[in-house]
Amino acid sequence: MIIPAGPAHPTAMAAIHAAAFAGGEAWNAAIMAAQLSLPGTFGLIDESGGMILARAVADEAEILTLAVDPAARRRGLGRELVREAARIAVARGAARLLLEVSAANQPARALYAGLGFVQAGRRRRYYVNGSDALILALKLTAFAAESL
């Protein structure tokens, strides 16, 4: 069950993030707590092993990070987390949802393409491993909150 993340969740969120980004750019509990404390930022967590952090400011929202524990993948949890974050963003007045994803992360790219995200830009050699970041965008105004 997906629930809003609050002050009690940064450690669990960091554990999910570490499992999902093993050997990569995992965020620790201090980073999670700091992000959750920022204006406009919200998080969601699912006890089965998924989490998302996003920010909605004015008419734009951004997914800061999405992580699903490898043991919980291929069950639609990532999709549901993005959909719920999009619903919250719409409720907060956002018309567009942005994110950055590694060009090398084919499973994530497939997830986002399936949700209707399109490439809006590219940041060369953005990640520590040297891969490019693709900037993806989803026009939230084109969807009813229930259709995401």
Segments in the chain below pLDDT 50: 145
Burial class (CB in 10 A: 0-12, 13-18, 19+), 39: exposed
Count: domains in the chain: 1
Q: What pLDDT is recorded for position 25?
A: 78
User: How do strand 96-102 and strand 60-68 relate by DSSP bridges?
Assistant: parallel
Burial class (CB in 10 A: 0-12, 13-18, 19+), 116: middle
Q: What pLDDT is recorded for position 59?
A: 93
Sign, CA torsion 1/89/66/139: positive
Percent of the chain clearing pLDDT 70 (strictly above): 95
CATH number (domain holding residue 12): 3.40.630.30
Q: What pLDDT is recorded for position 21?
A: 87
Domain that holds residue 20: 2-147
> Using one digit for the tens of pLDDT, what is the confidence trace for 101-142?
999 999 999 999 999 999 999 999 988 888 899 999 999 976
